[in-house]
A and B are shown apart, each in its own frame.
Chain A
Amino acid sequence: MRVPIQEKVSTYMVFYLITSVQVGVGILSYQSQINKHAGHDAWMSVLIAGLFIHITIWMIYVVLKGVDGDLVEVNKQVFGKVIGSVFTILYMLYLVLGATIVIRIYIEVVQVWMFPQMKVWSILFLILPLVFYIINGSFRVVVGICFLGFIVPAFLMTSFLFPLQYSNLNLVLPVFDHTFQEFLLSANEAALSFIGISVLMIYYPFIKEKEQSQKWAHFGNLTTTFIYTVLAIITFTYYNQPQLSSLKWPTLDMWKIIEMPFVARFEYAGISTWFLVILPNLTLFLWAASRMMYRQFQVSQQKSIVLFLIAVFIGCFFMETREELEKVTKVFSMFGRGILYVYIPFIFLTYCLLRKGRRK
């Protein structure tokens, strides 16, 4: 399987592909999830999770460099044709589910914070054609969106300097006041925020100098870890623990403190800009799903995107209340953890064994 050179993207773009897919809707609420076990120390669990993702990226690269193909190829080689295709389909479902959840959570945020009367389908009718238009272009357009989705919203990071005025460092002291086990349990929660990286296994053949792209992937992950850690520290010094646990979106809640002479409520600007953060998530997930469909069943990508978009649309309809949304998110996180803890290490180990066997 060869990808024509005009469809390939520059090596350093892997940086934006990694960061933009990791930062999505999870960053709005991860603080009140990770503090469940390690309390005020949980910001360090973010570092542990980030380190773990570095190892995962390394494993992915070892496998991909050896196989010199994408996930479909890996599945075929590791599991054989039949079982391999089962895993491919499962992974495809995971991606579509991910896109559905991301878009539904974003719509929920818009409904709660900006327009309570906004209908779900009415936003979807605006967003889904856009997603189709982007994916239908080519992979390079998707990467372009990832680039914009990192650069344009980057200014939002400055908005998190405002809460510092009310920060109290005592709230995160004393450090290391939890057991190792609690740190790991919180890291387990934090890992969910980094989950998107596995899409790497699908767009890998589209990178110009594949082997050299690994450092950009690590650099991207380092950047996200940095963003998540800093934001977690800011949040933990701004809220005390009981208060933090009672909030749904601590990141958005912190914006309530911002008051500028020309903007009374910053959330409106922030949440609107946030669309550019979730757009790469949507497009990359759905592009990857349709690409797998093409690789596995030779269905044209255009057709499968339409199919997936309809699935996303219907999926959003079935998640009407927050409880339903939470239930589906739980399933999705289990899926994601399975990929992170079981699936990727498994294909890594099997690949290493196979390679050893072949050498002998």
Chain B
Amino acid sequence: MKGKTFIIFIISISLSLIMSFTIPKKIIDQIQMVTVMGYDQVEDEMIRGTAIVPKYINKNKVSNIIYTNVSELIYENQTDLNRVASEELYNGKLEIVLYGKELAKKGMVPYIDFLTRDPSIGSRTYLAIVEESAYRLINQINTEQSAGLYFSDLIEHNIINGNLPETNLKIFQTGIKSQLQDPFLPILKVKGDKAIIEGLGFFDKDKFVFTLPYDNAFLFNILKEEVGNGKYALKRNHIKASIQSIESTRDFKVEGSKANPIINVTLTLRGVLREYTGPSLNKNKDEINKMWKEDVRQKGQELINKFQELEIDPISIGLQVKANTRGFDLSNWKDIYPNAEIKLKVKSKLIETGTMN
């Protein structure tokens, strides 16, 4: 390379590097990573934002610092929170965002916008509704670990092994944007110094309308997705049985005309009986299976009818019908759905009964 070009190279590259050094840095010890955010409705247009920042004192010891403030916009809130924080607050490690019930009733769209607009927030961030107020829950929580990890672990293990359907920012966002399904979120509640998953909250578009107690979450779970490890408590007449490790598949068939569709939902369940009290199991196995099937069918059908009554579609039946109908008319669907005939069919199998007969 010739001398002149070489000098130009050196100058331009060093200029660029010098400039880049002046960009604000984010050194991990000099920033605070917010892991939990909570938002509550106060007065009319104001929201209370509460942030938890973990502070690592020494090995295995975390203290959770709580900042809280009231403002109109979420980022305005963050700016205000910075006025009390000892270091700059960043969203990059956000694990869960909690919303007070009152806020959720008013509509969530203004309060999740920043989550999707900010590139540093992942799609796997959890969202949850808090029964009373997020502020109170955040202040009551007492854990040894970081509060963000506590909340995300709580939800995550219930998704993998419990009856909580898969939920995160991506899924909620999909539900809000779609015209063929409605979103849902888990509802948390304070219990002593811990949080408890109280149930599932269902939305009409982005407005919270209906609570399903967690006892019935399994029914929604099998209707919503294919489950790998469900749990069901069967209590009927004189029989009490606990069925675990339930695998489910679902199948939608759309029949009838465009204006009057008949939707057949078939659920196939396979489970293992883990606990049982009642008359001899050996003789009554078929009967128990039948009872289980009938129990799920009846409660499931009730749930579907309830959704139709509320004119919400968290099971995404609209999407199923659209996928099976040529020239699907979106504007008509809203009138058809509440009166559409949705038939639930359940097939079930008890594959094992543990180590006892």
A contact set with B: CB distance below 8 Å: 112-115, 117-119, 121-126, 128-129, 132-133, 166, 168-171, 173-174, 177, 239-240, 242-243, 246, 252-253, 256-257, 259, 264-265, 267
Contact = CB atoms under 8 A, between A and B. Distances in A.
B123 A264 contact: no
B43 to A, nearest CB: 31
Contact of B16 (A122, A177, A253): A122
B327 A177 contact: yes
B239 to A, nearest CB: 38
A8 to B, nearest CB: 24
A242 B177 contact: yes
B59 interface: no
Contacts of A267: 119
B260 interface: no
B27 interface: no
Of all A-B residue pairs in the complex, the 9 with the closest CB atoms, nearest first, are: A173-B323, A125-B16, A122-B19, A170-B323, A243-B177, A256-B123, A125-B12, A257-B123, A126-B16
5 contacts: A126-B16, A128-B12, A240-B180, A259-B124, A267-B119
Contacts of B23: 115, 117-118
Contacts of A117: 23-24
A114 B20 CA distance: 13
A257 B319 contact: no
A136 B112 CA distance: 50
Given A170-B319, A174-B326, A243-B173, 12 more contacts: A115-B23, A125-B15, A126-B12, A126-B13, A128-B12, A170-B320, A243-B177, A246-B177, A253-B123, A259-B124, A264-B122, A265-B120
A112 B12 CA distance: 24
B177 A119 contact: no
Nearest to B177: A243
B324 interface: yes
A129 B174 contact: no
B122 A259 contact: yes
B19 A243 contact: no
B178 A122 contact: no
Nearest to B12: A125
Contacts of A242: 177-179
Given A125-B12, A173-B324, A243 B92 contact: no
Interface of B: 1, 5, 8-9, 12-13, 15-17, 19-20, 23-24, 92-93, 119-124, 170-171, 173-174, 177-180, 316, 319-320, 322-328
Contacts of B13: 125-126, 129
B8 A129 contact: yes
Nearest to A246: B177
A113 B119 contact: yes
Contact of A265 (B122, B179, B180): B122
Contacts of B120: 265
Contacts of A128: 12
Nearest to B178: A240
Contacts of B5: 132
A5 B259 CA distance: 71
B168 to A, nearest CB: 9
A123 B16 contact: yes
A174 B119 contact: no
Contacts of B327: 177
A179 B15 CA distance: 55
Contact of B15 (A113, A122, A177, A265): A122
B177 A174 contact: no
A239 B24 CA distance: 34
A289 B328 CA distance: 50
Contacts of B322: 170, 173
B183 to A, nearest CB: 12
A122 B320 CA distance: 51
Given A125-B13, A126-B13, A257 B171 contact: no
A119 B19 contact: yes
Which of B8, B119, B170 is packed against the most chain A CB atoms within 10 Å? Answer: B119
A101 B122 CA distance: 28
Contacts of A126: 12-13, 16-17
B323 A174 contact: yes
Nearest to A172: B323
B92 A265 contact: yes
A264 B178 CA distance: 28
A72 to B, nearest CB: 27
Given A125-B16, A177-B327, A243 B119 contact: no
A114 B26 CA distance: 12
A117 B327 CA distance: 48
Which of A117, A126, A246, A267 is packed against the most chain B CB atoms within 10 Å? Answer: A126
B122 A256 contact: yes
A115 B178 CA distance: 32
A239 B175 CA distance: 10
A240 B176 CA distance: 10
Contacts of A259: 122, 124
Nearest to B252: A170
A177 B19 contact: no
Contacts of A123: 16
A319 B322 CA distance: 42
Nearest to A128: B12
